[in-house]
Structure 1
Amino acid sequence: MLTVIFTLIWCIALFVFLFYSLISLLFRVISYPRDFYRFAGNQRPAKIDSSLHYFVIVPCFNEAGVIQRTLVKLLQFESFEVVVVDDDSSDDSVAQIKMINNPRLHLLRRHLPNAHTGKGDVLNFALDYIYQKIIPRGIPFDKTIIGVVDADAQLAENALQRLNAYFSSPQTSITQMRVKMYPRFKNELQILQDIEFFSINHMAQIMRMYTRTVGLSGNGQFFRLQPVLNKIGLHPWGNALLDDYELTIKMMLKHLHVDYMTDTYVYQEALTSPRRFIRQRSRWVQGDLNCLKYLPRIIKSKVLSRTQKLGIYYFLVQPWLNLLADLAIIILTAVTLINWQYLYKGMPLLMLMIVVIGLVVFSLFWGIVFGLFYHHDLKHFNEPRLRLCQSLILPVGISYMYIILFFSIIIAFWRWCFHENSWIKTEHGKKVS
């Protein structure tokens, strides 16, 4: 009976994954080329609004290895004022920041016991500062654009051009940039993170653009201050460990539409260590669980469409579905190995080989499909291509990378059940040039 139950769970999870992947793929193949100009920043406005004023917030905690490069790159965009918030770093992050002499760079510092309370608090702290700055300078709220960029990030060269094209239309409010890893890959784990963000998540975001369910990322989000102040308030970010999707839900509940930029992107550092990767993803999963508190409001909402509600439900149910599916796979695999001689007794060797080969091909199918799209994306944007050996093992890595994420799911549920909501910091590497 237990085997039947877990088989059913596995089949349901597989069906949901295949259905969602297929729909995302269809939108990517059919809809995007036809409706290119529907996506944020791809429009050609009659006139670029020269009165737009950008404030880019950069949260910083022990980022000495990357923060200086990030700030220098951001300040190359002359329209940007950069507000970096040091959250009581214990390394020499502040010293690295102070080495940059630029009037458009603003350093804010938080100290214990008010520091280390989460990224949302850091962003709200920066927004308070920006609010106090723009009032005496007479900058209109509807001309003020707020951006969030991680301490390890860098915007693509055409980012400001796309942002200006988007925000020059007064009807626009919020947009999320495409995300890519820096093409300095030291191991296969970094490549897998790049394909996950640059191609797989990109497909999902294209579909969400049509269903009006685009999700914000913690990196590369930009919004017009006026509508956010009017509908959410001066402190839009909450305390969920997944602050970006929590803000997405709050915006959707207030009828604020998030757009998606497909043809510019923000770079970030890919993690090289499986341990750090698991810790990072456990924070994301736990942040998803934190957002369950909005479920009653989502169910009762008269603002959200059925499609939007389904999109949010799918996102919120993912940790539970993944947990049950992984448990089902482990249990069914154990049962198969224990009862191997009974399950396959009398089966011809040729038939057994066909079954095994069929299962392998089936498991690699989406890895091959996503790998092909990833190669196309790299070529389209003139990004460095992979070596042949990397390309050959790519389908295997894509198909099986989520096995190691089972541990992040366990960690997330454990912390969530015991109300351990402290921020799990993503550790970056040594200083880079």
Structure 2
Amino acid sequence: MLIVIFTLIWGIALFIFLFYSLISLLFRMISYPRDFYHFAGNQQPAKIDCNLQYYVIVPCFNEAGVIQRTIKGLLKFKQFEIVVVDDASSDGSISKIKQINNSRVHLLRRYVPNAHTGKGDVLNFALDYICQITIRQGVPFEKVIIGVVDADAQLADNALQRLNAYFSLPKTNITQMRVKMYPHFKNGLQILQDIEFFSINHMAQIMRMYTKTVGLSGNGQFFRLKPIIDKIGVHPWGNALLDDYELTIKMMLKKLRVDYMTDTYVYQEALTSPKRFIRQRSRWVQGDLNCLKYLPQVIKSRILSRTQKLGIYYFLLQPWLNFLADIAIIILTAITLTHWHDLYSYLPIMTFSLVIGGLVTFSLFWGIIFGIFYCRDLAHYHEPPLKKRQLFFLPIGISYMYVILFFSIIMAYWRWSFHQNSWIKTEHGKNAA
């Protein structure tokens, strides 16, 4: 009986995951790049708006190893004003920032006990400052573009060109850039994170563009200030550990559409340490659980379409599906190992081998498919290709990378159950690059 129940749980979770993956894959194959001009920044406006004022917010907490590189990279874009918010760093980040002598760099500082209260508070703090500046200068809010770039990030060279093309169209409001990890990887874990963001999440975002369910990332989001202030308020970011998707839900509930940029992207550091990787993902899972408080509003909303509601339901359901599926796999594996002799006597060795081989082949199939698209994406955007040895292990890594995330799910549920909502910082720098 236990085998039937947990097999059913695993089967349902697998079906939902495969259905979502298949739909994402079909949208990627059929719609893009054929429908190139459907995506943000790929349009050609009659005239570029030269009055756009960009403010890029860079949250900073103990980022001495990477913050200078990030600021210098942003200063290459002449229209950018960079607002760095130091959240009471203790590692010399302030001195690194002050070494950059440029009038377009604005350093804001938060001090304990008001610091270390989450990324949302940091971003709202910066937005207060930006609103004060623009009011003093008499710049209309509809001409002010707010960006969020992480302290370990760098924009692609064509980023400003795409942003200007997008925001020069008067009806555009919010866009999310494609995300990529810095190349020249040190280990396989970094490659897998790049595949996840640059290709797999990219496929999902393409599908969400058509279903009007594009999700913001914590890195590379840009929006026009006026509609956000008018519809959400002067402090749009909340206190969920997944501040980007919380803001996405708020925007969708106010009928603000998020667009997606496919042909420019933001680089960020991939983690080399499995421990840090698990901690980072546990924060994301817990942030997903934090967003459950919006579920009643989503259910009752008359603004959201059925497709949009299904997209939000799927996102909020993911931690629960992953948790149940992982538990089911562990229990089924335990039953198989403890009843090995019974299974061996019940199934002929040939049948048993075929079943195991079929399951392995099936799991590797998705790794091969996603790996092919990833390699094509690297070639298309002239990114460094993988080595032959890395290509050989690619399908295995893609197919089984989420096994280690079981520990992040357990950590997230533990913290969530005991209301431990403190920010789990992702460490950057030489050891994490």
TM above 0.5: yes
Shift of 1:284: 0.2
Shift of 1:351: 3.2
Shift of 1:182: 0.1
Whether 1:55 and 2:55 are equivalent positions in the alignment is yes
Shift of 1:363: 1.2
Q: Deviations over 1:293-341 (max 9, x none)?
A: 0011000001000000000000000000000000000000111111122
Q: Deviations over 1:261-301 (max 9, x none)?
A: 00000000000000000000000000000000001100000
Match of 1:74?
74
Whether 1:141 and 2:128 are equivalent positions in the alignment is no
Match of 1:121?
121
Give distance in 2, aligned partners of 1:163 and 1:362: 41
Match of 1:310?
310
Whether 1:279 and 2:279 are equivalent positions in the alignment is yes
Match of 1:415?
415
TM-score (norm 2): 0.99
**Is the 2:178–2:202 Cα contact (8 Å) retained in structure 1?**
yes
Match of 1:17?
17
**Is the 1:57–1:148 Cα contact (8 Å) retained in structure 2?**
yes
Match of 2:186?
186
Give distance in 2, aligned partners of 1:357 and 1:246: 42
Amino acid of the residue matched to residue 156 of structure 1?
A: A
Give distance in 1, aligned partners of 2:36 and 2:413: 40
TM-score (norm 1): 0.99
Pair 432,190 (structure 1): closer, same or farther in 2 beyond 3 Å? closer
Give distance in 2, aligned partners of 1:425 and 1:257: 30
CA RMSD of aligned residues (A): 1.1
Match of 1:244?
244
Match of 1:401?
401
Match of 2:7?
7
Amino acid of the residue matched to residue 62 of structure 1?
A: N
Q: Any gaps of 5 or more consecutive residues in structure 2?
A: none
Pair 407,107 (structure 1): closer, same or farther in 2 beyond 3 Å? same
Shift of 1:346: 5.7
**Is the 2:124–2:235 Cα contact (8 Å) retained in structure 1?**
yes
Secondary structure of the residue aligned to 2:176 is strand
Give distance in 2, aligned partners of 1:359 and 1:422: 40
Whether 1:330 and 2:330 are equivalent positions in the alignment is yes
Match of 2:176?
176
Give distance in 1, aligned partners of 2:298 and 2:191: 36
Whether 1:381 and 2:381 are equivalent positions in the alignment is yes
Match of 1:254?
254
Q: Deviations over 1:80-128 (max 9, x none)?
A: 0000000000100000000001000000000000000000000000000
Pair 96,431 (structure 1): closer, same or farther in 2 beyond 3 Å? farther
**Is the 1:65–1:431 Cα contact (8 Å) retained in structure 2?**
no
Whether 1:106 and 2:106 are equivalent positions in the alignment is yes
Q: Any gaps of 5 or more consecutive residues in structure 1?
A: none
Equivalent residues, number = 433
Match of 1:220?
220
Match of 1:153?
153
Shift of 1:354: 2.4
Identity across the alignment (%): 78
The residue correspondences of 1:345-356 to structure 2 (distance < 5 A) are 345=345, 347-356=347-356
Give distance in 1, aligned partners of 2:43 and 2:106: 32
**Is the 1:68–1:97 Cα contact (8 Å) retained in structure 2?**
yes
Shift of 1:240: 0.2
Amino acid of the residue matched to residue 177 of structure 2?
A: M
Amino acid of the residue matched to residue 332 of structure 2?
A: L
Structure 1 runs of 4+ aligned residues shifted over 3 Å read: 346-352
Secondary structure of the residue aligned to 1:33 is coil
Q: Deviations over 1:148-187 (max 9, x none)?
A: 0000000000000000000000100000000000002100
Give distance in 2, aligned partners of 1:59 and 1:33: 34
